Amino acid sequence: MSDLPILAAETDTHCPYCALQCGTRLQGDREIGVKVQPLAGFPVNAGRLCQKGWTAPELLHTPDRLTSPLLRQGDQLVPVGWEQALGVVARRLRTLRAQHGPDVVGVFGGGGLTNEKAYLLGKFARVALGTSQIDYNGRWCMSSAAAAGNAAFGIDRGLPFPVTDLQEAQVVLLAGANPAETMPPLMQHLERADLIVLDPRRTPTAQRAALHLQPVPGTDLALALGLLHAVLEDGPADKSYIQQRTHGFPEVAASVGEWWPERTEQVTGVPAHDIRRAARLLAQAERAYVLTGRGVEQQSKGTDTAQAFINLALALGLPGRPGSGYGCLTGQGNGQGGREHGQKADQLAGYRSITDPEARAHVAAVWGIRPQELPGAGRSAFEMLDALGTPEGPRALLVFGSNPIVSAPHSARIEERLAALDLLVVADFVLSETAQAADVVLPVTQWAEEDGTLTNLEGRVLRRRALLPPPPGVRSDLEVIRDLAIRLGQPPHRFPDSPEAVFDELRAASAGGRADYAGVTYERLEAGEALHWPCPAEDHPGTPRLFTDRFAHADGRARFVPVTYREAAEDLSNQYPLYATTGRVLAQYQTGAQTRRIRELNDAAPQAFVQVHPDTAARHGLTDDTPARVTSARGSLTAPVRTDPAMRLDTVFVPFHYTGDGRANALTNPAIDPRSGMPEFKVAAVRLEPAEEEPAA
Amino acid sequence: MTAPLDPAALTCTTGAAGVVPIRTVEDCATLTPKVALVLGDGALAVEAASALATRGVRTGLVCTAPRPLYHALGEVASRMVTAHLEDAGITVLGGAQPTRCSDGVLHLADGSDLPADALIVAGQATGPGEQLRLRSALVDVAVLGEPDAAEHPGTRQITLTDPRHQRYAQLTINDHKIIAGVLVGLPQAIATLGLLHRRGQYLPADRLGLLLDLPPRPCSTDTAPPLQDAVICLCNNVTRRALAAAWRSGARTQSALATATRAGTGCGGCGPAVQELCGIWADERQAQEAAA
Amino acid sequence: MMRTLMIAGYGMAGHRLAEEVLALDADEEWRIVILGEELYPAYDRVCLSGYLDGRSRADLMLPGRDFLQHPRAQLWLGCPAVGGDPASRTVRTADGSCLTYDALVLATGSRPFVPPVPGHDLPGCFVYRTFDDLDAIRAHARPGRNGVVVGGGLLGLEAANALRLLGMTPHVVETGPHLMPAQLDRGAAAVLHRHVTGLGVAVHCGTATVSIDSHPARTVRSVTLSNGTVIDTPLVIFAAGVRPRDDLATALGLERADRGGFLTDKLCRTSAPQVWAVGDCAAVGGRCYGLVAPGYRMAGSVARQVLGLEAEPLEDIDTSTTLKLLGINVATFGATGHQGAMEAAFAEDTRYAKAVFDADTGVLLGGILAGNTGTPTTLQPFIGRQPPADLEQLLLPA
């Protein structure tokens, strides 16, 4: 059995939610309650914390905590013992695999899982199940920026510099990011800079901007091309940087020839005057950053859009220069580690490619198997979910740390596919909406009950430390994975369940890969070292800043990658004349499975709403608080109207944290970006009307 | 309307003045004269002059019409365009009759001689009501919609004139949609109206606010929501009422209020507002104590 | 001891002054002596046209029975003041009386201006100010024939309406570029123009009267305009403006303003002690207003001063006008004359509204309205403030 963490009255750890991973100190126990204080000494949040972090300890005593496995019998989920639950799972997996082969089982992980869990889950999928069908909800986080970053720089790490570097900036372009609401403690690092905020909504972040560019949803790529045109026209691009550190500039410069400001204005609705002003601000700054977020990335052309912003950053000579750069603001707590260590369909530990023979050889050796035994690349998240229960697709799905019934696009399709499964197994600590649909539910630990590591948005490896033991009946994900692996015939030593042991193996597996964790140890982390990957050896200090000397392509140069504009995957029409965009609110997090169980957060953000311009509302027979129905080609949601005169006339906004009638993903378009597998969450065509008094019979 | 200038009609004897007829503004992208004269009345001439002046070339714009874009925009709007161009350093000469050029000098019928290194002939005229989005960093100009839209019965015309800042708009509206417009010096309105017009979408009720890019304002009938309910710290959902209660219980400084209510511990954006409230309440208390 | 307030002139401002004094004089210390030139008590000159539309003199009279029988109010009709001596506080009347006063207020009003064109004094030429004028016009009217009104302002349109009521075809001649040039802009005047011509009123703008032509019998035959038009007509009404009646300034030794009127400060005080001026004849701060509302404000302020009460100097005198003429509403509100102000005009076929804003701050300064628009009362509260989001709806209601 694993070592129990020592019962501590106090421990330093990190918030369970977003990629900022604010440093916190927890005090207390289950009897007296747990209090949280932000850590002043952790530079990322420097003593700040948002309302979600402040109230996170309430998760530890949520009354509907799962404390025993559940097994479906008819309509009901009935409490059973672990032996029975795991026995059922293993037996049914064996049967399905015997009938249909290894790809019959799919694994769906999460960007909130620790590195250890992500790694072991990836290993479990490829070794114990032998399936290629593993992906995670982090596919919907930074995958577009990652693909673009890899193409441009040869490597991607979210922020290739510590967040504190942002304090140096004179100008920061935030494209499709709303940190004032989604990462409030980040804002202290942006206080001195002039912000240029690109967002179709006038968010709290946009309100702080020196310049707010408010494009038509889905036209961000055109705006990026227009900004580059304006930068190139305004004055000489950083010629020596371009000549010495990049390839491919002339082709990209030529490709934006048609994107003069007035033409860009006609496509995006952003005034030519503001495009020129933004270009001037960026070009004249000595130190500037271009940061992208989900707004520009979660589109069917999200990778190309991120690419265009990277091209802009390269033309300005930003990446790799002190006090300047390009970065992507990762969203999920371990969005980075989750992908680096093997939850992604095409990746192995160390950010290795599953199709690279050298990578396969290395990892197979660490795992004690032959490279041929490793499966190839599988389907990306939505593609896998879309294939569930179809003749060629998986018939069983194991879900860890994810709630796809709420988080996946095109909810109606997802529900239909999950219902078509022969076996759905969900490991979670509360009965999320996806768990409610499962055949087997396995209760697992949550943040303050476990040890492990996560990798924050700066690529820094952080220690998560347990304050409390889990409640009786609850096991760790590592224990569950190990148990299942053994039942599937794996030797026990191959699946340790002690976090540190798993991490040590992860280090070996990632050694020599792009995301090299070989030099990171629990001991070094205990000693308080700030270790950003790559950290290839135990005496290596880690790499806070990438690209200072060279980029990661073989020739050391960054690439300008030309991209072409195309419109959103669906046009407005007479039937669907408005845009719908989705996003977050401060008080809730992701699918709300955690935050909707906390009273203070529910008081702040109790329910779904449809944010719309008052004139647009009036034109559709709606006023504040009246129930509205929003309908796309894929489904409807019903929620009360919240008018906002700063909204675009042509756009409605719905937050995606809610379920039932107010589920935003009922509307969203699963049109997938061919380079990243990212669905088009950020723009759909909808119509708006008053909801009926009574539901239709 | 005056006929477009024909470069052939400008007889040129020997000299450094290159006569460069252009068809698009890109045609002058490679020119690097020290002093340039652009001949023409229409959008192309104004775009060429803008492009040259933006690049630092000393530029003059010579029109046979009273002013550049006179026929396209009308009296008031073309006057404002001229003002914007002149503010940017372009010399504008209206009502001119060029006769010939020689030795780098353009001769006008009134006897004046204008020297230049390059003579750019942008002969394309721009007629009244012709759709237009001028390419220029120096002035924002747009013409959209049907030329005789104002003739339709039942339309509403909105005319905004701001001589101080050289801004102008004339919109013709039918059934809450824009059917024609001329705009100068109003970049946000041009962008928004261009989109609404192209898509045939409805205008907002507050057209004045749209034209002037004003922040949202209350209607005449709106009453302000109760002050105490205002959320001061968005990150922790702390209302003014909650801060006041904490202040009354003894939290008198920003950091004490942060400890009591968590205000300011998230993004920090409410800092100035909290400081201001501390000041207001301290003054109130002082005043109460003095009165007692 | 009863003190005497003498009011020279008995028009609308003079009557309001008397009413206010009586209302404020709780201690009954003052008696009022009113010296009126006309043979009738004060009447509502603004609604004068009603006199041709069925309303009687009695209907339009301003003083009620209580006032006419008030023990402390003496009305001397047909007995105007002709001179006096402020040093000895005396006034001489037309019939030779010499009266003393404790306070004197001049409310002599204004007279119509008649341009000195040839023929201006022919029989058939009239002005438009008193009941007598209207009786004369009524007597001379020829239904079915043209009638010419010289002056396209407020009064000219009133007179044109009067001619319409008398069955004649009015022709309005205005030297300015459009009707009501003092109050309206081109856009509002266009709406007014369309409306009045639709009612059968002919309008000649941008042209002046050159001569009134006569028959051999020395009655009006036609009017010749500077643009060459000759209008065949038996009747001409001059409504080309008014001049303040400040003749008493010489007799009383008072200062005149540059452009006429008794020169007063912002408390309506003339250059002599205990002598005020109110109404059309008063040039407050050097400027005559010629409008009822300012005249009433002056009357209110002077009434308080006479009784020894505090009175605010008249600032921000509201020159807004609201009129219903010929079935169309025309109005101004706030100040519309600022140079370099920003303007937003909203125009439809039959109505027009313009709002004027401060070019730097964007606050609403005033506006012009014509047709079925919002009223000045609705818009007045927003003067000096940022325009509300529904300003356009207030100006042009659905």
Same domain for C246 and C332: no
B204 min Cα distance to partner chain C (Å): 10
CA distances from A148 to A328, A561, A672, C68, C363 (A): 10, 9, 15, 94, 50
CA pair distance B180, B191, nearest whole angstrom = 14
Same domain for B269 and B238: yes
Here the CATH number for the domain that contains residue C178 is: 3.50.50.60
C379 min Cα distance to partner chain B (Å): 10
Same domain for B163 and B104: no
**Of residues B126, B123, B167, B138, the one with CA closest to residue B49:** B138
Q: Check B218 against C344: CB less than 8 A apart.
A: no
Q: Kindly report the CA angle at A459 between A362 and A344, in degrees rounded to 5?
A: 50
Q: Is residue C316 situated within a structural domain?
A: no
A433 min Cα distance to partner chain B (Å): 27
Tokens of A423: 């076996």
Contacting chains of C (3 CB pairs or more, <8 Å) are B
Would you kindly state where each structural domain of chain A is located, as residue ranges? 10-61, 70-140+333-443+477-518, 143-329, 578-690
Mean pLDDT of A281-285: 95
In this structure, are residues A499 and A461 in contact, taking their beta carbons and an 8 Å threshold? Answer: no
* Residue A316: pLDDT band with limits 50, 70, 90: very high
Find which of B152, B184, B220, B222 to mutate to test the C interface (most C CBs within 10 Å of its CB): B220
pLDDT for B126 equals 85
Mean pLDDT of A393-418: 97
Q: Is the pLDDT of residue A1 over 50?
A: no
pLDDT for B16 equals 44
In this structure, are residues A683 and A673 in contact, taking their beta carbons and an 8 Å threshold? Answer: no
Q: Is residue C313 situated within a structural domain?
A: no
Parallel/antiparallel/unpaired status of strands C364-370 and C352-357: antiparallel
Closest chain A CA to residue B264: A48
Task: For residue C86, give the amino acid letter.
Answer: P
Q: Is residue C171 situated within a structural domain?
A: yes
Mean pLDDT of B143-149: 80
pLDDT for B7 equals 57
| Sheet containing A33-38, strands listed edge to edge, beginning at the edge strand earlier in sequence | A10-14, A23-29, A33-38
Measured in whole angstroms, how far is the alpha carbon of residue C227 from the centre of its chain? 29
Query: What number of other Cβ atoms are within 10 A of residue A635's Cβ?
Result: 17
Closest chain C CA to residue B151: C349
pLDDT for B9 equals 59
Q: Is residue C188 situated within a structural domain?
A: yes
Q: Is the pLDDT of residue C5 over 70?
A: yes
The percentage of chain A sitting over the pLDDT mark of 70, rounded to a whole number, equals 98
A72-109 per-position pLDDT tens digit: 999 999 999 999 999 999 999 999 999 999 999 999 99
Q: Contacts of residue B212 in chain C, CB cutoff 8 Å?
A: 362
Same domain for C133 and C211: yes
Q: Is residue C119 situated within a structural domain?
A: no
Compute the radius of gyration of chain B from its Cα atoms. 29
pLDDT for C337 equals 81
Angle between helices A499-510 and A115-123 (to 10 degrees): 70
Q: How many CB pairs under 8 A join B and C?
A: 77
* Residue A5: pLDDT band with limits 50, 70, 90: very low
Mean pLDDT of A304-321: 97
Closest chain B CA to residue A50: B266
Q: Is residue C312 situated within a structural domain?
A: no
Same domain for C234 and C146: yes
Here the CATH number for the domain that contains residue B265 is: 1.10.10.1100
Q: Is residue B238 situated within a structural domain?
A: yes
pLDDT for B12 equals 56
In this structure, are residues A338 and A204 in contact, taking their beta carbons and an 8 Å threshold? Answer: no
* Residue C315: pLDDT band with limits 50, 70, 90: confident
B216 touches chain A (CB under 8 A): yes
The percentage of chain B sitting over the pLDDT mark of 90, rounded to a whole number, equals 63
pLDDT for B123 equals 81
pLDDT for A694 equals 57
Residues of C with CB under 8 A from a CB of B: 187, 340, 342-349, 359-360, 362, 378, 382, 386-394, 396
pLDDT for B99 equals 85
pLDDT for A4 equals 42
A75 min Cα distance to partner chain B (Å): 40
3-class secondary structure, C195: helix
Tokens of C47: 């609604």
pLDDT for B11 equals 56
CATH architecture, domain defined by A10-61: 2-Layer Sandwich (3.30)
A188 phi and psi angles, rounded to 5 deg: -65, -25
State which residues form the domain around C334. 322-395
A130-142 per-position pLDDT tens digit: 999 999 999 999 9
CA distances from A539 to A519, A529, A544, C255 (A): 7, 11, 15, 101
A38-62 per-position pLDDT tens digit: 999 999 999 999 999 999 999 999 9
Task: State which of C180, C214, C238 marks the end of a domain.
Answer: C238
Q: What is the mean pLDDT of chain B?
A: 89
Q: Contacts of residue A615 in chain B, CB cutoff 8 Å?
A: 202, 204-206
Q: Is the pLDDT of residue A16 over 70?
A: yes
Q: Is residue B45 situated within a structural domain?
A: yes
Same domain for B96 and B47: yes
Q: How many domains is chain C built from?
A: 3
C75 phi and psi angles, rounded to 5 deg: -110, 115
pLDDT for A164 equals 97
CA pair distance C5, C25, nearest whole angstrom = 12
Here the CATH number for the domain that contains residue B208 is: 3.30.390.30
Q: Is residue B217 situated within a structural domain?
A: no
Same domain for C16 and C101: yes
Q: Contacts of residue B216 in chain C, CB cutoff 8 Å?
A: 389
A335 min Cα distance to partner chain B (Å): 22
Here the CATH number for the domain that contains residue B83 is: 3.50.50.60
C171 phi and psi angles, rounded to 5 deg: -120, 120
Tokens of A636: 């409807």
Q: Which member of C344, C348, C382 has the closest CB to residue B160?
A: C344
Same domain for C172 and C217: yes
C349 min Cα distance to partner chain B (Å): 7
* Residue B117: pLDDT band with limits 50, 70, 90: confident
CA pair distance A614, B218, nearest whole angstrom = 12
* Residue C249: pLDDT band with limits 50, 70, 90: very high
pLDDT for B147 equals 66
Q: Is the backbone of residue C340 left (phi > 0), alpha (psi -120 to 50) or beta?
A: left
Same domain for C246 and C224: no
Looking at per-residue pLDDT, the higher value among C123 and B101 belongs to C123
CA pair distance A407, A414, nearest whole angstrom = 10
pLDDT for B14 equals 41
Q: Is residue C317 situated within a structural domain?
A: no
Same domain for B177 and B87: no
- CATH fold label, A143-329: Dimethylsulfoxide Reductase; domain 2 (3.40.228)
Q: Check A649 against B204: CB less than 8 A apart.
A: yes
Mean pLDDT of B218-225: 86
- CATH fold label, A70-140+333-443+477-518: Rossmann fold (3.40.50)
Q: Is the pLDDT of residue C383 over 50?
A: yes
Task: State which of B183, B212, B241 marks the end of a domain.
Answer: B212
Q: How many domains is chain B built from?
A: 3
pLDDT for A235 equals 64
Q: Is residue B132 situated within a structural domain?
A: no
Q: Check C344 against B164: CB less than 8 A apart.
A: no
ipTM: 0.92
- CATH fold label, A578-690: Barwin-like endoglucanases (2.40.40)
CA distances from A327 to A285, A290, A398, A673 (A): 17, 6, 33, 20
CA pair distance C299, C301, nearest whole angstrom = 5
In this structure, are residues C118 and C211 in contact, taking their beta carbons and an 8 Å threshold? Answer: yes
CA pair distance C169, C221, nearest whole angstrom = 15
Residues in chain C: 398
The alpha carbon dihedral of C254, C258, C263, C264 has a sign of negative
Q: Is residue C116 situated within a structural domain?
A: no
Same domain for C375 and C277: no
Q: Contacts of residue B133 in chain A, CB cutoff 8 Å?
A: 262, 265-266
Here the CATH number for the domain that contains residue C377 is: 3.30.390
State which residues form the domain around B197. 140-212
Same domain for C143 and C233: yes
Q: Check C390 against B207: CB less than 8 A apart.
A: no
* Residue C104: pLDDT band with limits 50, 70, 90: very high
Q: Which residue has the tokens 């008014």?
A: C242
pLDDT for A340 equals 85
> Which residues on adjacent β-strands are paired with residue B170?
B159, B182
* Residue A241: pLDDT band with limits 50, 70, 90: very high
